[in-house]
């Protein structure tokens, strides 16, 4: 069964790479120490030396394997070289071509490659490239959403396409608890990938106001108002905060470049201005008008009612899934 582990990890629980730097060494190590796959998020610019330090810092907090996520829409070649040189367990890629060459180079370094896809066509390309597992993202997911199809319809089609190939399928999108985990298993997944639930943990680098809003609010919307200039044609699912509800209908020509600076933040060691309508969510260093910054969340956010240690999130997912299966399905 899925909770028995994937890709050599104890459990089939994956913590999504949370941008811009929300999944730092503390969160990734906590997930890894609990038996899941924790994933760092690489900078969206070339910073190989910094990335090496991030990987090495994580290794001081855990002796378990972990991964690094890279958004291929941004400069990444030197970052990937650093990841492969450091021989992390998993390279997770998203929003770009996962080429056969990239997979071959990663395998030569002993690194597994796991792309995130949002369609059957992307799945076919990933299979042709020779990847080790596939994360299937449904439209319910928080943050940037690459596909248009819901998880409950897309996931079993991907499972059928892969057939008897030894390539684990990992479900992503709106999953926050054991019920979602078991539902994904029933649809054919071997694991689940959670983002929003891990943002709302003690170890995440999200700003406290962002974490609090994930507990307080329960509605999201599929939108494109954030970061239109920096990352065009990259829609998001965001919390319906008061700011979002006031700004969600802005004209298509509006973007962050013609908006005022509303705050500042240090992202991967670099000082950044935060303009209104900018794409990055507020991390723990953010100052200014936090309530007017982007706050991404998946549709399952209404099931989050407290901030937990990341290890406890993993434990509740695994224990809860076992109980559900034993109570409702073991006698079938």
Which tokens in the block code for residue 62? 């855990």
Gap between the Cα atoms of 3 and 154, Å rounded: 21
For the chain, state the CA radius of gyration: 19
d(CA 12, CA 3): 5
In terms of Cα–Cα distance, which of 92, 7, 23, 82 is closest to 58? 23
Rounded Cα gap, residues 92 and 85, in angstroms: 15
pLDDT average, residue stretch 44-52: 98
Q: How far apart are CA 96 and CA 94, in angstroms?
A: 6
Mean pLDDT of 316-326: 92
Residue 6 pLDDT grade (very low, low, confident, very high; cuts 50, 70, 90)? confident
What are the structure tokens assigned to 66, written together? 């972990």
Coil, strand or helix: which one is 74?
coil
Q: CA 37, CA 179: separation in Å to the nearest integer?
A: 20
pLDDT exceeds 90 at position 4? no
Residue of 286, 295, 291, 294 whose CA lies nearest to 264:
286
Band of residue 331 on the pLDDT scale cut at 50, 70, 90: low
Query: For the residues 218-232, what does the mean pLDDT come to?
Result: 97
Q: What is the pLDDT of residues 136-147, one digit of tens each?
A: 999 999 999 999
| 244-286: pLDDT as tens digits | 999 999 999 999 999 999 999 999 999 999 999 999 999 999 9
Contact 53, 68 (CB under 8 A): no
The pLDDT of residue 325 is above 80: yes
144-177 per-position pLDDT tens digit? 999 999 999 999 999 999 999 999 999 999 999 9
Per-residue DSSP letters for 189-227? -SEEEESHHHHTBTTS-B-HHHHHHHHH---EEEE--SS
Give pLDDT, residue 195: 98
pLDDT-above-90 percentage for the chain: 94
């Amino acid at each position: 069964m899925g909770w028995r582990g994937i890709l050599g990890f104890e459990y089939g629980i994956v913590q999504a790479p949370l941008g811009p730097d929300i999944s730092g060494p503390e969160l990734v190590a906590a997930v890894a120490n609990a038996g899941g796959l924790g994933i760092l998020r690489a900078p969206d610019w070339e910073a190989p030396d910094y990335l090496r330090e991030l990987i090495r810092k994580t290794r001081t907090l855990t002796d378990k394997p972990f991964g690094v996520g890279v958004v291929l829409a941004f400069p990444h070649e030197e970052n990937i070289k650093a990841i492969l040189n450091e021989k992390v367990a998993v390279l997770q890629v998203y929003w770009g071509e996962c080429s056969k060459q990239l997979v071959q180079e990663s395998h030569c370094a002993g690194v597994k490659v796991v792309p995130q896809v949002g369609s059957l066509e992307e799945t076919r390309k990933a299979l042709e490239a020779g990847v080790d597992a596939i994360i299937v993202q449904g439209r319910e997911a928080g943050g940037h959403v690459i596909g248009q199809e819901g998880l409950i319809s897309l996931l079993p089609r991907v499972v059928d396409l892969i057939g008897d190939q030894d390539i684990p399928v990992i479900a992503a999108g709106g999953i926050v608890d054991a019920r979602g985990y078991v539902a994904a298993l029933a649809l054919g997944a071997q694991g689940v990938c959670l983002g929003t639930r891990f943002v709302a943990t003690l170890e995440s680098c999200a700003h406290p106001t962002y974490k609090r809003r994930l507990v307080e609010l329960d509605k999201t919307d599929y939108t494109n108002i954030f970061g239109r200039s920096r990352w065009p044609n990259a829609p998001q699912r965001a919390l319906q905060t008061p700011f979002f509800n006031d700004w969600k209908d802005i004209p298509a020509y509006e973007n962050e470049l013609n908006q005022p600076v509303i705050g500042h933040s240090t992202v991967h060691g670099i000082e950044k201005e935060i303009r209104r309508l900018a794409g990055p969510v507020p991390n723990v260093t953010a100052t200014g008008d936090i309530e007017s910054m982007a706050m991404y969340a998946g549709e399952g956010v209404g099931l989050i009612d407290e901030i937990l240690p990341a290890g406890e999130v993993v434990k509740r997912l695994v224990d809860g899934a076992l109980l559900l299966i034993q109570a409702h399905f073991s006698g079938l």
